[in-house]
Structure 1
Amino acid sequence: MDDPRYSIGELSRRTGLTVKAIRFYSDRGIVAPSGRTASGHRRYDVDALARLELVRTLRELGLDLATIRKVVDREAALPDVAEAHMRALEAQIHVLRLRHAVLKAVTRRGSTPEEITLMHDMAKLTEEERRRLIGDFLDATFGGLEHPGFAGVARSMTPELPESPAAEQIDAWVELAELAGDPDFRALMRRLAERHDAGPRRDPIADVRVAVAPALTSGIDPGSPEAARIVAALTARHRPDDLLAWLDIVDDSRRERYLELLAVINGWAAPDSLAPAVRWLSEALRAPDQRCAP
């Protein structure tokens, strides 16, 4: 029967580890020799071979030496260690995917060093930190207002960056986060919410879309008699001053930009732009004939 004891060289050939690595593990007591030759050379048994193969596997998986020692000495259950390490790897993979997406976005945009720093900082925020940032913005917009529909509106305005975002989603998230932190934009959205919360007035958006869309399609001039009839129908349902006040708020490109970015981040269809209808109606309401309308 062959002598089951192996030299370091034989262990190296069987495990793929270097002689230096085996000696390192041996010196630290992770894989102890079973004996020595008359000349003092270490010899290892089949148990040492099995331990070394396990050590090599665990090291390739990224476990630290202290954890490996606990596993091979059976001080820690391997499934528990594997699960903990799996969670750590999942977190690392998430970070790497975000970094990859940031670099891809930077490559596409040709960003400045300042933009790269901002994009990286925004992209690496944890989910909790992202929710806190958006939560602060939504609270600044709707906080303290009592309209029953605002809770649903706030949910619909919440971005949900996926775990493996595409470069364009990273791009959109960074821009949306900048918007959400802009005091001027917050003030704009607060005015819009307060106007809606102030009383029983009907929100003009649906009426404006229905009334103005045919005018845009037909190319009706905002100062024409046809436009005057459209304005008259709208002002029968909404006071002209209220419409103008509403138009002054919604005719801000940042409001629509937020919704566009939100759609990119959440994987939604791009929203229909209200801007053409807003501009047309604003011009029509301010036309000389319409200004005189009751």
Structure 2
Amino acid sequence: MEGDALYSIGELARRSGLTVKTVRFYSDRGIVAPTDRSPAGYRRYGIDAVARLDLVRTLRELGLDLTTIRKVVDRELSLPEVAAAHADALAVQIRVLRLRRAVLTAVAERGSTPEEMEFMHRLARLSEDERRRLIGEFLDAVFGGLDDAPAFAGVMRSMTPELPDDPEAEQVQAWVELAELTLDPEFRASVRQLTEEQAAEQVALQVRGETTGPRRDIAGVVRDQVGPALRAGIDPASPQADSFVAEFTAHYAYLLGRPDDIDLRRRLAARLERVNDPRRERYLRLLAVVNGWAAPESLAPALDWSVQALRVRTA
């Protein structure tokens, strides 16, 4: 019977698909031991050696070292235990490779200097605690002293990136760029000013006791109210735009408790220009990538239209 047959090292090599040299190598190290020897002293192997060699080849292709392989085939270690440990190690390697790929891709796309590449690499390798600390410093600079308000507590949560444990390369790239933005002092100052302006609008409502009044940020109001004008292709400088301008300036006047006059419209134009900072929109888009959210709707078309309409009417 075939199960009782003994094979020479050459026959075993043919059956296993390995070279004679490779079979001899495994045999010399006791991973696949001969069953017997011929009268001339040549090694002879049983059919079980084929199965052992198949397993050895598979484990080697998966990257296991010979010491571990020998323990597996000798049943000193269970295959599930070895597989689990090796899978964990590969997961770490994959994460490291993704980080490297993300940094190198960003360097290639941005034409970075060696110093910039080193900086990006450090950002990509930050631990979860280090990432939280970096973002915490940014949010504190933007919301410090204002974060007790329920509305701002929610905004802070919505502006917090959460890089997953096993991120895609695009998420790592987005995280690196987002982290760079949070370290930009001009961007911090710009967002802080917007936060203070929104807080002042809320305080103005509270002072008047109008706690049930509208609390939405003026940029969101402008987007909704200007949307029909954009879809209709109305020129912001034309008389057809007057009713749209009157609607969102009236809302802003209500927020501040002031009359809708030329000074208020100039103030609103400046406010909307600050909201329309491309860095702010870029932060929100990067945040969506890192957190796996849908891309946010751009406010730029509505804000561009509104600012132009206000400037024409306050020149």
Tell me the TM-score normalised to structure 2 length.
Answer: 0.69
d(CA) in 1 for partners of 2:227 and 2:293?
26
- Residues 97 and 165 in structure 1, CA contact (< 8 A), matched pair in contact too: yes
Letter in 1 for 2:219: I
Map 1:4-153 → 2, pairs under 5 A: 4-93=5-94, 109=109, 111-112=111-112, 114=114, 133-144=134-145, 145-153=147-155
1:78, distance to aligned residue in structure 2 (A): 0.8
Between the aligned partners of 1:224 and 1:6, the Cα distance in structure 2 is 94
Distance of 1:259 and 1:137 partners within structure 2: 14
Distance 1:264 1:87 in 2: 26
Please give the residue correspondences for 1:118-267 in structure 2 after superposition, counting only pairs within 5 Å: 133-144=134-145, 145-159=147-161, 163=166, 165=168, 172-197=174-199, 200-201=203-204, 202=215, 203-210=217-224, 218-221=234-237, 226=242, 229=246, 233=250, 234-238=252-256, 239=258, 240=264, 243=268, 246-247=271-272, 249-265=274-290, 266-267=292-293
Name the counterpart of 2:307. Answer: 279
Q: Tell me which moved more, 69-78 or 170-179.
A: 170-179
Aligned to 2:294: 268
Q: Which runs of 5+ in 2 are unaligned?
A: 205-214, 259-263
Output the amino acid matched with 1:192. L
Q: Identity of paired residues, percent?
A: 54
**2:186 counterpart letter in structure 1:** D
Match of 1:292 in 2: none
Q: Distance in 1 between matches of 2:125 and 2:14?
A: 43
Contact 2:273/2:307, CA 8 A, preserved across alignment? no
Gaps of 5+ in 1: 289-294
User: What are the Cα deviations for residues 1-28 of structure 1, in whole angstroms up to 9, with x where unaligned?
Assistant: 6763322112111111222222222222
Say whether the 8 Å CA contact 2:234–2:240 is kept in structure 1: no
Q: Distance in 2 between matches of 1:59 and 1:225?
A: 72
CA gap of 1:193–1:187, structure 2 versus 1, over 3 A, is same
Q: 1:36 to 1:231 in 2, by over 3 A?
A: closer
After TM superposition, the score normalised by the length of structure 1 is 0.73
Instruction: After TM superposition, give the deviation of residue 68 of structure 1 in Å.
Output: 0.9
Q: Give the direction of change, closer, same or farther, for the CA distance of 1:17–1:122 in structure 2 (3 Å limit).
A: farther
- Tell me the C-alpha RMSD between the 2 structures: 4.1
